[in-house]
A and B are shown apart, each in its own frame.
Chain A
């Protein structure tokens, strides 16, 4: 059973002038395989910074604390090493890669993660199956990565990667944003399939409770001003839905 442990994580964003602006002010969180956590918070609270700094985006600098995956020091790894160690980030705004087909990209990623090329005979079927489950047209595999994709297609493509790459811990950054209800249902079903395997720990980052009606979290963490200020079970999400974040934000002011 895999465990991601985040201890007193402090992160700053690098500003263009070279200055550092502190964002995360000491985050503690433990995510185990099979668990689903929701991190909820107002805009600008640092939720996405948490996601991207764990994945190793160069825009962020770690100024304190630790992140380990099954005892391994994640922060000492390069971005690709983190992914190969078992971390996955479903991005809010997936990047276009012109001239690189989805099929080529997925095969390259699968090969990198597994350490060997997928078997030709089974891979085609696996890819087709993953696309069918997310109701994607087979022609999708020949399109360039994220180029000209609708918002819904981008998110389905992210979840398809989640299903194919089978990470130990996956962070889903605002996966619900920009999705209509049909797309949200399809994407949520994909996340729930991963959840039901019991082999992946999920960290859902969201501003709204909408996605939590489709993916039931085991734990809910309220994130304000760069740290977790309250923790609870699914009932906390319902409370936030009714009351909003005002109580937390007002308490700071």
Chain B
């Protein structure tokens, strides 16, 4: 178990290389700050190829409510003046260059939905593939979009989310891949004026899942909350990186990631970067990562970085805590007659409760709670 409280400050996150051409990025050798925790061998073609030719996972959905469309379009139809996510590393450039078209999810302005829109991304195996998804939410719309990622895949994909002024989006992405799946995903959230985005990122399944989420604001009053929940079993590698780029005044961000790990070489990586530029006065930001190590042999890396270029912020903070199961909690519950296995379930469910409760769909909340308990039961037996 390691906790790296303060890594050396990043060499100004705003100055990293950006390019649409994968060849512009030097080959990755694993010593780079961005890649030092990632088992590159397991990424295979995703990190070494210059073009991916496999078949992208199928995109499926049921009947869509009025105001919501899902279509497959040419990149030129959505990119206009340029894509929302300008690739900034080798894999995001590879996904951009190799994806065959774009899955476009559009929510018309002022659409308010009580029910969540569920989109399933189903991997069918095969060679390493690339995909792009663009989610556009119109002004004053208020929706929940759930993206379920299942099946088998070796996938590099970019997801670009744009919310117009005053739109409210809850975006839940679930990585519930089969064993053996590998994913390197880049998510870009572009938050409009007075718009509110809550992203809940869940990683439970897959051999290696590396998700990079970046946030930018296009107007004042933008609010982005990034919640993450992961549960790594033996051999799984879950890596979550964020870059929240505050360049607009009076915006807010909150990053809260929590993970549990169990089993030999279960590994998680969380690297949270927040950049507050000189122009972003009145920014309010906080980031926290907590890890619960359930057994010996699991490793959690946790690195918060905060880069501040203005003194006029409303708030800026970070925290990280990685620890073992609290024996005192267990004793307290057992001293009330609760058997050990059940007491452990209560504590772990409680650890994740704040995150799970961000999901506005009861059926999904219960499914996640059950999935977490099932994971615990594997080791209890």
Query: Chain A interface (Cβ within 8 Å of chain B)?
Result: 55-58, 78-80, 82-84, 88-89, 91, 94-100, 104-105, 108-109, 112-113, 144, 161, 165
Contacts and interface: CB of A to CB of B under 8 A. Distances in A.
B340 interface: yes
B354 A99 contact: yes
Given A95-B329, A108-B342, A165 B351 contact: no
Interface stretch (B106-114, B232-240, B330-338): B330-338
Contact of A58 (B327, B332, B339): B327
13 contacts: A57-B331, A79-B331, A79-B334, A80-B339, A83-B334, A84-B337, A91-B332, A95-B331, A95-B332, A98-B354, A99-B351, A108-B342, A109-B337
Contacts of B83: none
Interface residues of B, number: 24
A97 B329 contact: yes
Contacts of A99: 349-354
Contact of B338 (A89, A108, A144): A108
A105 B332 CA distance: 11
Nearest to B353: A99
A240 B342 CA distance: 44
Which 6 residue pairs across A and B have the least CB separation, nearest first? A99-B350, A99-B353, A112-B337, A83-B337, A109-B336, A79-B334
Q: Is the interface of B mostly helix, strand, loop or mixed?
A: helix
Nearest to B346: A100
A104 B329 CA distance: 15
A17 B332 CA distance: 24
Nearest to B339: A80
Given A98-B350, A98-B351, A99-B350, A78 B334 contact: yes
B340 A80 contact: yes
A54 B261 CA distance: 33
A89 B335 CA distance: 7
Nearest to A94: B332
B354 A165 contact: no
B346 A97 contact: yes
Contacts of B333: 97, 105, 109
